[in-house]
């Protein structure tokens, strides 16, 4: 079985992306492909596998995303920008609804963050602070409040984007504490059997947010798009920023622009960088990858993103 794929990233959240329109592989096979392609010890590596899939209803195309452990996520907003760009390239559109497994999201090409940095804006309206929507088995709603049964005394805001997030605002991000709590949630405890993404968020002096996330099915990650969206919405819910105000969200992988509204919705604008296009053989019987064959290098795009990162950190 041979696949072409694009190695891409949104705000440093990197993925192999396959155009799977018209393909009818069973989910177990996609899960196996994700485990092989996204394996950091393998020839490609990534924070998961993105699929550009056929659309439905008013959405001309859709997105699926499989984590490196083979589980499927409801969405991935950093990945969504990359999938939307691939969908726009394939269809000739510049804006469209994108079908997600449990919802839809709007996406559009917008002005570049910097010269040569392809930029896509996404808007998610499937936002909820209902504890049951988040997957919690206690309470009705948690906004800057302790969550009974969680092994942390911190105050959290629980949200879906539509995947589940627990957001705590901190003065300083303690990565060891974040990993310990993320590992606990990853064990699918009775409090949240579907697991959750956990983020510590620090307010920066320049008014931006710094987000560090333990991503469900991934672990500690340099960037998680839905966590950045959840953090912006949580900051507005708790009065830390205003509604409908643009804010910069930073993480280890880079930065995006974000804005949230009471309706509720969250809009994120960030890069969708294509690093290279390649092909690889996959053996379904063993789950092993063959050699990767480079088809097209996108060095100019990689360099443009690195220049933006350097400028943003100076």
| 3-class state of residue 216 by DSSP | coil
Strands 164-169 and 197-203 come out as parallel
Round to whole Å and give the CA distance between 167 and 194. 16
Q: Where are the beta strands (DSSP E) in 181-263?
A: 197-203, 209-215, 219-221, 247-251, 254-261
Round to whole Å and give the CA distance between 299 and 184. 40
Cβ-based neighbours of 299, under 8 Å, separated by 6 or more: none
Nearest to residue 267, comparing CAs of 162, 121, 76?
121
What count of residues does the chain have? 314
| 3-class state of residue 81 by DSSP | helix
The tokens of 250 are what?
């930073």
Which entry of 8, 82, 185, 224 is annotated as an active-site residue? 224
**185 classed as catalytic:** no
Judge whether 86 and 95 are in contact, CB under 8 Å.
Answer: no
Which entry of 8, 76, 82, 185 is annotated as an active-site residue? 76
Q: Which residues pair with 61 in a beta bridge?
A: 54, 98
Round to whole Å and give the CA distance between 95 and 49. 23
**8 classed as catalytic:** no
Hey, which residues are catalytic here? 76, 224
């Amino acid at each position: 079985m041979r696949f072409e794929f694009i190695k891409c990233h949104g705000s440093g959240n990197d993925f192999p992306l396959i155009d799977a329109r018209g393909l009818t592989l069973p989910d177990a096979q996609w899960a196996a492909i994700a485990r092989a392609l996204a394996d950091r010890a393998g020839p490609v590596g990534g924070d998961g596998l993105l699929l550009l899939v056929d659309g439905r209803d008013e959405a001309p195309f859709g997105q699926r995303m499989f984590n490196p452990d083979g589980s499927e996520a409801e969405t991935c907003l950093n990945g969504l920008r990359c999938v939307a760009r691939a969908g726009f390239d394939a269809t000739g559109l510049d804006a469209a609804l994108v079908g997600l497994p449990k919802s839809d999201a709007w996406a559009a090409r917008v002005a570049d963050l910097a010269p040569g940095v392809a930029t896509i804006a996404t808007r998610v309206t499937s936002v909820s602070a209902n504890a049951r929507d988040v997957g919690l088995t206690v309470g009705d709603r948690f906004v800057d409040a302790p969550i009974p049964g969680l092994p942390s005394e911190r105050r959290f805001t629980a949200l879906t984007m539509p995947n589940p997030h627990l957001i705590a605002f901190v003065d300083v991000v303690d990565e060891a504490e974040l990993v310990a709590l993320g590992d606990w949630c990853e064990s699918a405890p009775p409090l949240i059997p579907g697991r959750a993404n956990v983020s510590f968020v620090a307010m920066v002096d320049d008014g931006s947010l710094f987000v560090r996330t333990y991503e469900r099915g991934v672990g500690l990650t340099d960037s998680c798009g839905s966590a950045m969206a959840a953090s912006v919405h949580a900051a507005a819910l708790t009065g830390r920023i205003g509604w409908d105000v643009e804010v910069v969200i930073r993480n280890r992988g880079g930065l995006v622009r974000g804005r949230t509204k009471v309706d509720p919705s969250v809009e994120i604008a960030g890069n969708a960088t294509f690093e290279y296009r390649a092909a690889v053989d996959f053996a379904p019987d063993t789950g092993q990858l063959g050699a990767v064959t480079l088809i097209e290098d996108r060095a100019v795009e990689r360099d443009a993103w690195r220049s933006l990162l350097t400028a943003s950190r100076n």
